[in-house]
């Protein structure tokens, strides 16, 4: 027998964004000696000039808490009104319980639904899609989605392919119900044939072996990921726009995963974005913060360009798996980013 209830079938939108950037600013000059590189090479190949590394007193949880608190304050929603918290991270150093359950206790609502997702640099956009659908269906009214990474814990400072790219930080959004459509359909998927392109090894099991080669660090086949991102991700971004009934000419901002300035520029070119579209280029000063990069870049863009509040943006995350997710969104309203 069919169940006897009416699905909510309502819209959702991002009410506010918050970010936390660790206080330690690390210029390229602090990295180059150990990897036989140069400031010029890093700027030219990645667009990165500096990044933030968390200190010993800045953890995945403390950074997530700061970003969530800012998003909550800006939204005017109380933590006690939040039904679910989704944490996107690959650097919380415990397999279980989840980072989300540690976070809700600190934020003051230990009864909220809480779980982590492992979708690397796409994790935040995966979370936005899930939160939006939870709200649209009526399973939740308000959902916090936080992308947070302390990649400096899992990056080998002697690895030329990763030491200059990865960085730390947190970004969060609060998502709630809305009259108008504020989050478009999620276009998402994977390319598991390239699963080896970004890996964290050895495994926890390997670590139990006393002869283990050591700590799990991230390694990356940079060129494989670069080519995949440049050629495969622009069509996905355009698909997300079309799914939301938009064209590039109707877009105000493009906030892609902040992996590499050359990838950002190549995507914008391939999508034929008009010059009027503001492009988030936060990678220059934040590096690649994986799951945190899109919300941190969103926060930076709204700080630099307050006129973009309430305007239309496209967000897309892509990374280890390889996995990706993209949505068209309405950026949070002006009153929120104070």
Q: How far apart are CA 200 and CA 214, in angstroms?
A: 12
11 as an active site residue: the answer is no
Decide if residue 80 touches ligand UT7 (CB under 6 A): no
Question: Pick from 226, 286, 302, 313: which binds ligand UT7 (CB under 6 A)?
Answer: 226
Q: How far apart are CA 104 and CA 85, in angstroms?
A: 7
Q: Which residues of 254-292 are buried (b: 16+ CB within 10 A; e: fewer)?
A: bbbbbbbbbbbebbbeebebeeebbbbbbbbbbbbbbbb
Q: Which lies closer to ligand UT7 via its Cβ, residue 123 or residue 184?
A: 123
Q: Which lies closer to ligand UT7 via its Cβ, residue 187 or residue 229?
A: 229
Q: Which lies closer to ligand UT7 via its Cβ, residue 192 or residue 250?
A: 192
Options 68, 109, 125, 257, the catalytic residue: 257
Decide if residue 164 touches ligand UT7 (CB under 6 A): yes
Decide if residue 147 touches ligand UT7 (CB under 6 A): no
Decide if residue 223 touches ligand UT7 (CB under 6 A): yes
30 as an active site residue: the answer is no
Per the omega criterion (within 30 degrees of 0), is the bond before 97 cis?
yes
Q: Which lies closer to ligand UT7 via its Cβ, residue 37 or residue 101?
A: 37
Decide if residue 227 touches ligand UT7 (CB under 6 A): no
Q: How far apart are CA 90 and CA 159, in angstroms?
A: 19
Q: Work out how close the CB of 154 gets to ligand UT7 at its nearest, in angstroms, rounded to a whole number.
A: 13
- Positive/negative CA dihedral, 45, 46, 47, 48: negative
Q: How far apart are CA 19 and CA 199, in angstroms?
A: 27
CB 145 within 8 A of CB 175: yes
125 as an active site residue: the answer is no
Alpha-carbon dihedral of residues 288, 294, 296, 302, nearest 10 degrees?
Answer: 130
Q: Can you give the binding site for ligand UT7, defined by CB under 6 A?
A: 35, 37, 41, 45-46, 121, 160-161, 164-165, 222-223, 225-226, 229, 259-260, 263, 288, 290, 319
Which residues are annotated as catalytic?
121, 257, 288
């Amino acid at each position: 027998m069919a169940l006897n209830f009416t699905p909510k079938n309502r819209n959702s939108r991002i009410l506010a964004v918050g970010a936390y950037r660790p206080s330690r600013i690390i210029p390229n000059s602090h990295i180059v000696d150990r990897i036989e590189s140069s400031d010029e090479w890093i700027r030219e190949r990645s667009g990165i000039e500096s990044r933030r590394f968390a200190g010993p007193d800045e953890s995945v949880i403390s950074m997530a808490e700061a970003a969530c608190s800012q998003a909550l304050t800006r939204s005017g929603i109380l933590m006690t009104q939040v039904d679910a918290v989704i944490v996107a991270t690959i650097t919380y150093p415990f397999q279980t319980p989840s980072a989300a359950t540690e976070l809700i206790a600190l934020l003051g609502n230990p009864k909220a639904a809480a779980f982590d997702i492992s979708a690397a640099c796409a994790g935040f956009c995966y979370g936005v899609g899930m939160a939006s659908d939870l709200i649209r269906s009526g399973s939740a009214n308000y959902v916090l989605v936080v992308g947070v990474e302390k990649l400096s814990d899992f990056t080998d400072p002697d690895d030329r392919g990763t030491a200059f790219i990865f960085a730390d930080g947190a970004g969060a959004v609060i998502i709630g119900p809305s009259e108008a459509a504020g989050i478009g359909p999620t276009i998402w998927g994977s390319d598991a044939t390239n699963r080896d392109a970004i890996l964290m090894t050895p495994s926890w099991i390997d670590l139990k072996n006393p002869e283990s080669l050591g700590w799990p660090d991230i390694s990356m086949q940079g060129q494989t990921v670069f080519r995949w991102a440049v050629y495969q991700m622009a069509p996905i971004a355009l698909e997300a726009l079309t799914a939301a009934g938009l064209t590039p000419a109707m877009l105000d901002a493009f906030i892609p995963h902040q992996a590499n300035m050359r990838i950002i520029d190549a995507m914008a070119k391939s999508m034929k974005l008009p010059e009027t579209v503001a492009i988030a280029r936060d990678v220059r000063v934040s590096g690649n913060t994986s799951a945190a990069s899109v919300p941190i870049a969103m926060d930076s863009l709204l700080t630099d360009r307050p006129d973009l509040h309430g305007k239309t943006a496209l967000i897309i995350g892509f990374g280890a798996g390889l996995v990706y997710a993209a949505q068209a969104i309405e950026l949070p309203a002006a009153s929120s980013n104070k």
